[in-house]
Amino acid sequence: MSDTNVADFPQNNEQATTDVGGVAGDRLKSFIERVERLEEEKTALMEDIKEVYGEAKSVGFDIKIIRKIIRLRKMDGEKRREEDELLELYKAAIGMHS
């Protein structure tokens, strides 16, 4: 935390939190840390998602198909074309080559 603290860049390290160069240091720092905390959580979530996919894969599912299904459900409606692709994937997965 101390060595490469970029956020402190235009800031004095005296006791108080006051402005330097027109930038309210502490306020800024607080925003930065809030974002960083949220991004950490987001990263954790992304890892969780990956794990679920890994689990599904290890049980024999085709991740590509699952992803497509999820995307499809999100779109939900329009894009019938995607459904066609899914159908093709299913057929390929079953070994039913078109």
Quick check: 53 binds DNA (CB under 7 A)? yes
Contact 25, 11 (CB under 8 A): yes
Contact 79, 89 (CB under 8 A): no
Sign of CA dihedral 70, 74, 77, 78: negative
Main-chain phi, psi angles of 20, to 5 degrees: -140, 125
Q: Which stretch binds DNA (CB under 7 A): 1-9, 10-18, 24-32, 56-64?
A: 56-64
Q: Which does 54 bind (CB under 5 to 8 A by kind): DNA, a second copy, none?
A: DNA
Shortest Å distance, C-beta 31 to a second copy: 4
Q: Which does 55 bind (CB under 5 to 8 A by kind): a second copy, DNA, none?
A: a second copy
Structure tokens at 81: 């074309």
Near DNA by CB under 7 A: residue from 27, 34, 37, 67: 67
# of chain residues touching DNA (CB under 7 A): 12
